[in-house]
Amino acid sequence: MKNLKRTPAIIVESKSLGHNIDFKWSAKKMDSLLDPLEGNEELDKILNNISHKASIGLTASLLEWVYWRFKGYSEMTDDIKNRIEALWCSVENRENTNPLVFDSELNAPATGFINGPIWLALMNVRMIDMLYKKGSPLLQSELVGLVLLARHITPKRRIFDKWFENIIDKLQNQFPNQNQEIDYSEETIYDCSSEEKICHEFFFNTNFEHTEKSSDYALTEFISNIDYTTNPYCNKMKKLVNA
């Protein structure tokens, strides 16, 4: 349980931890986040500028915003934490994680101010995980809804905006999409094995400076703190290798 013990400073600044559930939520809002591409073409374009491994790191970080927002409000946060760990583990090696299956029987609670956003976040992450492991070039577009959801549930959205704008700028510069000249279809497969790895510190430690060595070390440290006896999404690693 060493991972995610401390709330990142930027999330504390956003007043997410323990704040009243006072954001607007309705079936219409949920539908707009389920199918978010219309009207968010620019965000989609920006997300498609970053690499696959960076996309998974961003997914884990956005899910962490969701985790801290609902910690203390839902028992599902323990499961969310496990999924966050699995996403970071898959940055290192996709073979060391199990599919992030969620609500395959369509019987999980999906309505209300708490269950609704959590259901939406985990369904998004399920799709992102599936596209990443498949090597699909459609991966980055799947993050649009998760970005919008994390922003919507954050009490001080300007703080989230400041974080996201800074992170996405750094990602585009330091982790650019290596897959620019491909046919964006469901049949296309992309091999991200040559991409640089990214770590949790990149997103939440303002003093962290990315190098291949520093990110490898920080990612390994994070993964080494995973409890494989309680996290059903992570397999015990034989060794750390490129995904």
- Tens of pLDDT, residue by residue over 11-45, are 999 999 999 999 999 999 999 999 998 999 999 99
What pLDDT is attached to residue 56? 98
Is 46 a domain residue? yes
Overall average pLDDT of the 109-131 stretch: 95
What pLDDT is attached to residue 63? 98
Rounded CA gap, 22 and 38, in Å? Answer: 26
Is 231 a domain residue? no
Is 2 a domain residue? no
Of the chain, the end-to-end C-alpha distance in Å amounts to: 24
Confidence of residue 217 (pLDDT cuts 50, 70, 90): very high
Is 230 a domain residue? no
Reply yes or no on whether the pLDDT at 219 is more than 90. Answer: yes
Closest CA to 49 of 146, 152, 167, 129: 167
Is 83 a domain residue? yes
Is 75 a domain residue? yes
What pLDDT is attached to residue 230? 94
pLDDT digits (tens, 9 = 90+) for 192-213: 988 999 999 999 999 999 999 9
Is 150 a domain residue? yes
176 has which bridge partners? 50
Q: Which tokens go with 115? A: 């269950």
Q: Cα-Cα-Cα-Cα dihedral of 35, 37, 43, 46, to 10°? A: 110
What separation in angstroms does the CA of 235 have from each of 64, 135, 170, 198? 21, 20, 31, 20
Q: Which tokens go with 64? A: 């962490």
What pLDDT is attached to residue 21? 96
What pLDDT is attached to residue 243? 41
Closest CA to 11 of 63, 58, 69: 69
Residues in the chain: 243
Contacts of 84 (CB under 8 A, 6+ apart): 3, 4, 60, 63, 64, 67
What pLDDT is attached to residue 242? 44
Q: Which domain holds residue 70?
A: 9-224
Domain count within the chain: 1
Confidence of residue 120 (pLDDT cuts 50, 70, 90): very high
Is 243 a domain residue? no
**Which one has a higher pLDDT value, 193 or 56?**
56
Average pLDDT, the chain: 92
What pLDDT is attached to residue 149? 98
Overall average pLDDT of the 149-176 stretch: 98
What pLDDT is attached to residue 240? 47
